[in-house]
């Protein structure tokens, strides 16, 4: 957490011993349309949450970093209401990761 009087633009981590290096990191940001939904009458006898919005994804941006090298960002926005952004996102992630793994494969040199 930022401390009072200290530059809050710098974030520091503690317990580095618990960190793990990973070959691929994917940063994503989803954009959504918030649609109002009908509310219900809560039952005073039970605990409940009042939902008043449904978030419909309309697009995403994705950055893939592999071994410290940033790949070209992927940006996708919904062109029509029948598109499933979540499905498109999963397909794009798999395609990007396949691109990374296929570029890492090097031919094996076999000698006598």
pTM, rounded to two decimals: 0.57
End-to-end, the C-alpha distance of the chain in Å comes to 59
Domain that holds residue 61: 21-40+48-103
pLDDT of residue 31: 87
- Residue 16 burial by Cβ neighbours in a 10 Å radius (0-12, 13-18, 19+): exposed
Residue 10's pLDDT is 63
Among 98, 29, 100, 95, which Cα is nearest to 69's? 100
Instruction: Look at residue 15 and tell me if it is in a domain.
Output: no
Q: Flag whether 58 is in a domain.
A: yes
pLDDT of amino acid 86: 86
CA distance 72 to 78: 20
Token pair, residue 45, equals 């006898």
pLDDT on residue 104? 63
Residue at 63 is within a domain: yes
Residue 2 lies in a domain: no
Give per-residue burial for 18-50: e unless 16+ CB within 10 Å, then b. eeeeeeeeeeeeeeeeeeeeeeeeeeeeeeeee
pLDDT lower than 70: segments of the chain: 1-12, 39-40, 68, 103-107
**Partners of 31 in the beta sheet?**
59
In a domain, 14, yes or no: no
5 domain-assigned: no
Structure tokens at 53: 């919005």
């Amino acid at each position: 957490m930022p401390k009072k009087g200290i530059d809050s633009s710098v974030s520091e981590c503690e317990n580095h011993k618990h960190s793990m290096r990973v070959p691929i990191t994917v940063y994503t940001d989803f954009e959504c349309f918030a649609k109002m939904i009908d509310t219900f009458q809560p039952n005073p006898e039970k605990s409940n949450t009042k939902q008043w919005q449904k978030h419909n994804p309309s697009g995403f941006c994705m950055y893939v970093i592999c071994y410290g090298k940033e790949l070209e960002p992927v940006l996708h926005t919904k062109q029509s209401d029948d598109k499933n952004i979540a499905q498109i996102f999963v397909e794009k992630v798999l395609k990007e990761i396949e691109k990374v793994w296929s570029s890492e494969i090097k031919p094996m040199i076999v000698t006598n």
